[in-house]
Amino acid sequence: MWINGVARDARNDEVIERETPAAKGVVTIAPRGTAEDAEDAIAAAEAQFLSGEWAESYGGDKAKILAGVAACIRRDAEELAYLETLETGKPLKASLGEVEGSADLWEYASGLAPTLHGDSYSNLGPDRMGMILRQPIGVVSIITPWNFPLLIASERIPFALAAGCSTVVKPSEFTSATTLRLGEYLKECGLPDGACNIVSGHGHDIGQVMIEHPSVRMVSFTGSPRVGKIVMHAAAETTKKLSLELGGKSPSVVFADCDMEAAIDGVLKGSNFNAGQCCIAGSRLIVEDKIADQFLEKLIVRAQDLKVGDPFDPQTAIGAIVNEAQFDQIDRYVSAARDSGASILMGGEGDTSNGLFYQPTIIANAPSDSPIAQEEIFGPVLSVFRFKTIQEAIKLANSTNFGLAAYIWTNDLNTALSCGRRIEGGRVWVNAALQGIPEMPLGGYRGSGIGRETGRFGVDEYCEMKSLQINHMPQAERWVTTG
């Protein structure tokens, strides 16, 4: 772990052994941090923040360090991708893409560091002017999930650092390796000690301290809606700022006028990328009735070509499910849908003979208020619904408690814009699936979360805004008049 610029083990020397879900055997060993380790990390972050060494440093100097990390990530890309695949079970080519995207994020955030500025007013009268200062919020706890470990850490850490914050980061206990590597890179690139502390371990061991500690000013949590609510309750005690990136049940809305081949490809990518363990997975297909039969027929043929299995095989499209609990959750949702009379159009089976794998699954005729239609499954499972009018499509798209992303497939500009404006989601794509770029912010409506990450707004999340008003000439008028 990285605490105050020093690599160290947990105080009690305990470790977490990670078994790869794509075969059998331990692939990484990480320290199992304790609450005391988290307290050490918070103390180091606070001392660094109060010293002003990082918080008040020149933006251009911050930029050089953050860009340096991007270069380290690119230098070690293959090794990082390998680690990511061993721990998550995702295809190696997807890990390479994730590593590349992570380097892009560090580079982009480095460019934001020198551009951070406030505002000023010199039109407030002859004796008064105002400055609006944008200042780092302070110590930020960043808690991340297992599905895109390096990418999600890179959507948060460099933006918080660009703002001048000090950070305490906790990766998922299943996937600590690549986040811990970031600690090495930050040290190598000259980040002042204590500005980024990384504590590996379980949420139930160290999460509470990271959220409740009075020196922590903000919590950036990415994970499940269930834990997100726990974080909200815990943060209320000390009235902390929260940024929550939670789950989704994102729709792919397919209109009859779309480019059907492109839409089929996009719908399959949306529902099966990362074995569906993706917060923005397009897990609901909402397809126009007049093409629905033809679309489904073609979709199933193409889905049957998706190779499930060994993540190191370049032909593999769908790798492993991250752990047994996740595997069982997928199977439970599919079995419940089957039992309730929904039609399993394909898949619906897992294979645990050597690793945890699940077939791409397509389910139709489930009621739109059933769990398979409403809840996040986090597996390669697509539920199908039909619509006749655009109003019906928008209503269906907005019919869950989530609002993280949406995919619209149409060649009609009016349809694209009408849906793009009315479907509630932090990210809406037209004729594209899962193309994240650093410039575009991400986040959720409703149950999908609070706040935005990445893009130029991603730095704002980690800032406070202060009005500094100055009267610069002797004041003639007094509020208290004497005699």
Contact residues: ligand NAD, CB under 6 A? 143-147, 152, 170, 172-173, 202-204, 207-208, 211, 222-224, 227, 230-231, 245-248, 279, 376, 378, 404, 444, 449
Compute the radius of gyration of the chain from its Cα atoms.
Answer: 24
Q: Which amino acid makes up residue 304?
A: Q
User: Does residue 245 carry a catalytic annotation?
Assistant: yes
- Decide whether 170 or 217 has the Cβ nearer to ligand NAD: 170
Q: Round to whole Å and give the CA distance between 402 and 416.
A: 21
CB of 52 to ligand NAD, least distance (A): 29
CB of 32 to ligand NAD, least distance (A): 11
Structure tokens at 361: 């699954």
Among candidates 92, 110, 88, which has minimal Cα distance to 22?
88
Q: Round to whole Å and give the CA distance between 215 and 210.
A: 9
Contact 444, 426 (CB under 8 A): yes
CB of 53 to ligand NAD, least distance (A): 28
Q: Which is it for strands 166-170 and 284-288: parallel, antiparallel or unpaired?
A: unpaired
Contact 379, 276 (CB under 8 A): yes
Angle between helix 149-163 and helix 59-75 axes, rounded to 10 deg? 160
> What secondary structure letter does DSSP report for 412?
-
Contact 393, 287 (CB under 8 A): no
- Decide whether 135 or 208 has the Cβ nearer to ligand NAD: 208
CB of 314 to ligand NAD, least distance (A): 26
User: From the CB of residue 249, how many other CB atoms can be counted at a distance below 10 Å?
Assistant: 24
Structure tokens at 132: 């609006």
Q: Which amino acid makes up residue 164?
A: G
Question: Which alpha helices (H) appear in 305-374, and where do they start and end?
Answer: 324-339, 371-374
Of 245, 288, 376, 461, which is the active-site residue?
245
Q: Round to whole Å and give the CA distance between 351 and 181.
A: 32
- Decide whether 66 or 198 has the Cβ nearer to ligand NAD: 198
CB of 281 to ligand NAD, least distance (A): 8
Contact 199, 172 (CB under 8 A): no
- Decide whether 289 or 439 has the Cβ nearer to ligand NAD: 439
- Decide whether 38 or 287 has the Cβ nearer to ligand NAD: 38
- Decide whether 68 or 201 has the Cβ nearer to ligand NAD: 201
- Decide whether 277 or 359 has the Cβ nearer to ligand NAD: 277
CB of 445 to ligand NAD, least distance (A): 11
CB < 8 Å & 24+ apart, contacts of 336-341: 336/371, 336/372, 337/363, 337/366, 337/370, 337/371, 337/372, 337/383, 340/366, 340/367, 340/370, 341/365
Q: Round to whole Å and give the CA distance between 196 and 5.
A: 8
CB of 212 to ligand NAD, least distance (A): 10
Of 72, 278, 279, 419, which is the active-site residue?
279
- Active-site residues, by number, are 245, 279
